[in-house]
Structure 1
């Protein structure tokens, strides 16, 4: 069912964003990074941190819409 596929997709995207965020955090621990590299990684970290709440909100919005259709 489409609802199940959307739920699985959102959960996978959240898990991926957490994993990538963790990798970025580990890369930021490297004290030998050039300033440009560090800034790029910080920007990526910030964007991935925004992804999780956005994905959760998308899932909640999708569920709310489907619940209204079922009632």
Structure 2
């Protein structure tokens, strides 16, 4: 893997360090998403209210980092 820093261009502040993706990463992401839709997956078996709670948490996290990305 090849790590690199994400820099805020307006302040030159380092936001975080991430690993460079590989050619197989998109395939892994698609496989994982497909598993979530399988009949016996934990996601399909879980309560829709739990889904909503997780999605709201993701939205909150996105709002938390949007200042770094703006």
Shorter-chain TM-score: what band? 0.3 to 0.5
Task: Identify the structure with the greater helix proportion.
Answer: 1
Q: Structure 2-normalised TM-score?
A: 0.36
Relative to its length, the structure with more strand (as a share) is 2
TM-score (norm 1): 0.36
